[in-house]
Structure 1
Amino acid sequence: MSDNRLGLAGKFRYLAERARRIDVKSVAERAREVHEQHGAWTPRVFADMLWSAARHDVAFQDYVDYDFAILSKEERATYMTHPVSMQLAQRFARKDKRVLFENKIEFNKLFDRFLKREWLIVEAGNADAVRAFAEKHGTFIAKVPVSHMGLGVRRYHAKDVSDWEAFHRGLIERDELLLEEVIRQHDDLAAVCPGTVNTTRITAFFDGTQVHVLAIAQKFGRGAVSDQMSYGGFYTMLHDDGRAFGAGYDSHGHVHEKHPDTGFPIAEFRLPLIDEVLAFIDEVARVVPEVPYVGWDVVVTPDGPVLVEGNWGAGVYENKPSVTGIRTGHKPRYKAAIKF
């Protein structure tokens, strides 16, 4: 591994780009949001957000989401942020290997043995194969090969299709070229939200010898095809033994003591088969050593964990102090493993 310190030139380029794209109105709206949540003086929050972004690589939404207005300087320093995460991702992910994570078809080909479900590529002339796949599984998932934030994902039911040639043609026109069998999740996950396959995001770093688990977040959906926030989903952080930190939350100011649809108390959740999950991540994180820093999405099934996808731009899931009562984040774990 090369020198792990974040390069100053790269950091300055990143900051310059952020300064060029700054939306003052958006920052002011977030400052007012912080005032409403914590009673902090809006002008002071506005100035602090700008200073935190420029000096400490804190995204404006990070400032809101992680309650920086109520944290001390020392407590803030324990939080991982999106700008720092992206700098790490760009530094460590070899460019010619990123496509293996960006394109879902390429990802499925490489990680097939970890998916543990059937999948099919939609292409010209295989309408009969699409029909056979759909009728075998009944309900199935269609994905656009390159998409973000859970977008470009649809759930279909074979019983709703009457013209398979037209359906096949529509899949190609919409670029929904990857079909997958629906994952059957563990009963403990279905008890929280049965209508969505609820994924666990495990951010990990492979140093060439050891796989370091940096943070674990449990995402919950609202019955839609995806558990991402763009579909109404939310998350809670997990301890290393699978216990939830506390209630769930999202980046839209919503806090969920209980799941809105099932009433399940989020703080009582515990991820099943956690030892198997961690062993699974130790294996998958070694497959592409040229991309060592990855946010892995897995689902625990009755038979163990299965892989959904890997994100070379790992993103950040962090603890929210006003919800959990815990006033520290995961950055020390990142620094201990990556040494930046």
Structure 2
Amino acid sequence: MKRIINRFKRIDTKLLKSNIKEISQLTGKSQISVFMDMLQCYKKYGAGYSEYFEYEFYLLNEQERSTYMTSVQANEIVQRYNQKEYRHLFYDKADFNKTFADYVGRDWLNIQTASKDDIDKFLENRDTMMIKETQNLMGHGVEKITISDIENVDEFVQKCLENKQYLWEEFFTQHTEMARLYPGSVNTLRVITFFDGDEVAILEKVLKIGNGGHLDNFAAGGMYTILSEEGKVLYPAFDAKANAFSIHPSSQVEIIGFEVPHYDKVVELVKNVGRQVPQIPYVGWDIAIGQEGPILIEGNYNSGVFQMKPSITKEKVGVKPHYKKYIDF
């Protein structure tokens, strides 16, 4: 009940009305009819209005809808399997970097515990860096900093402390192929895994691509698509406004057919890190691809799901059947 109340408090009424109006125009159904169907889908499947729109529930029958994972169902997995006392190792980005130090592949500094000498050494001989809030989601509190623009280091440190941007990281240079896709952001993978105590199963393989900003997050204007078992893009990417792209609108690079470099190493990486904290078996790993191979950006103990639109794939099956091969929920 608490979760339901909190969810209703977070409703973006402007977006809700916009979604209802657009679906009504697409389907020819009245806006009241669309809204009532949304309510029914929330009651039966836990699908919020954004998921109803994103996964195109208005195109699906009852059986087809039942194959799509919703955030409510993903949260059931989190609550059942991911132990609360270990979640901070993923939620806190500084704790994550410390826990997975062998895999993050970049220099970093927690300014809460760093000395002035540590800070000076970190800034030395660098042109740029990323600063991050240690406990935030969807790219909030993440900034790219040009170090030469810092006029007073002490004042800058104090500002970061006030903004809770405690984590400073070396700016990561992505693989030339990933940069060719869209150079404005680091384009990452979200690979969702589940560790059953013996094997690490890969549940989803997602390519996230920036579009117009310096982040590839869906909520920040980015787009995503699903990868094949070999790390190849089979379908157009789409954004939060349901725009689908076979060719990137900025770089003009073909998205369909794009092959993620070092994908075999990505699989090896997640198979290794998926075992590191067995108390958190369900994780969505954010991975960047460097020239020499993949590195970990972060791990999400409460990862949502990523599913293609049925209008894009021409298939009306979500990821739930695949999840159920490995997870009891």
Tell me the TM-score range normalised by the shorter chain.
Answer: over 0.9
Separation (CA, whole Å) in 2 of partners of 1:231 and 1:72:
31
- Match in the other structure for 1:186: 175
- Aligned pairs for 1:5-84 (under 5 A) are 13=1, 17=5, 21=9, 27-84=16-73
Partners of 1:34 and 1:45 within 8 A in 2: yes
Partners of 1:248 and 1:266 within 8 A in 2: yes
Moved beyond 6 Å, runs of 4+: none
Separation (CA, whole Å) in 1 of partners of 2:12 and 2:249:
34
Stretch deviating more after TM superposition (184-193 or 69-78): 69-78
* Cα deviation digits, residues 153-202 of structure 1 (max 9, x gap): 11111121232222222222222111111122112211111121111001
Q: What is the TM-score normalised by the length of structure 2?
A: 0.92
The structure 2 residue matched to 1:293, chosen from 282, 305, 316, is 282
- Match in the other structure for 1:228: 217
- Match in the other structure for 2:304: 315
- Match in the other structure for 2:266: 277
Separation (CA, whole Å) in 2 of partners of 1:37 and 1:237:
25
- Match in the other structure for 1:158: 147
* Cα deviation digits, residues 83-130 of structure 1 (max 9, x gap): 111111121110100111111111111011010111111137734432
- Match in the other structure for 1:138: 127
Partners of 1:203 and 1:214 within 8 A in 2: yes
Aligned residue for 1:112, secondary structure, equals: coil
Aligned residue for 1:150, secondary structure, equals: coil
Structure 2's unaligned 5+ residue stretches are none
Aligned residue for 1:43, secondary structure, equals: helix
Assess, with a 3 A threshold, how the Cα gap between structure 1 residues 116 and 125 changes in structure 2: closer, same or farther: closer
- Aligned pairs for 1:205-220 (under 5 A) are 205-220=194-209
Partners of 2:89 and 2:96 within 8 A in 1: yes
Give the share of equivalent positions with the same residue, in percent: 33
* Structure 2 residue identity aligned to 1:156: I
Q: Report the Cα offset of residue 16 of structure 1.
A: 5.0
Separation (CA, whole Å) in 2 of partners of 1:178 and 1:17:
33
Q: Report the Cα offset of residue 282 of structure 1.
A: 0.6
Partners of 2:219 and 2:240 within 8 A in 1: no
Q: Report the Cα offset of residue 30 of structure 1.
A: 2.7
Structure 1's unaligned 5+ residue stretches are 1-12
The structure 2 residue matched to 1:326, chosen from 300, 303, 315, is 315
Assess, with a 3 A threshold, how the Cα gap between structure 1 residues 119 and 18 changes in structure 2: closer, same or farther: closer
The structure 2 residue matched to 1:93, chosen from 82, 86, 90, is 82
Separation (CA, whole Å) in 1 of partners of 2:11 and 2:110:
41
Aligned residue for 1:79, secondary structure, equals: coil
Q: Give the length in aligned residue pairs.
A: 328
Aligned residue for 1:309, secondary structure, equals: strand
Separation (CA, whole Å) in 2 of partners of 1:231 and 1:177:
22
Separation (CA, whole Å) in 1 of partners of 2:307 and 2:7:
24
The structure 2 residue matched to 1:249, chosen from 231, 235, 238, is 238
Separation (CA, whole Å) in 1 of partners of 2:257 and 2:40:
38
- Match in the other structure for 1:5: none
Q: What is the TM-score normalised by the length of structure 1?
A: 0.89
Stretch deviating more after TM superposition (167-176 or 233-242): 167-176
Stretch deviating more after TM superposition (36-45 or 85-94): 36-45
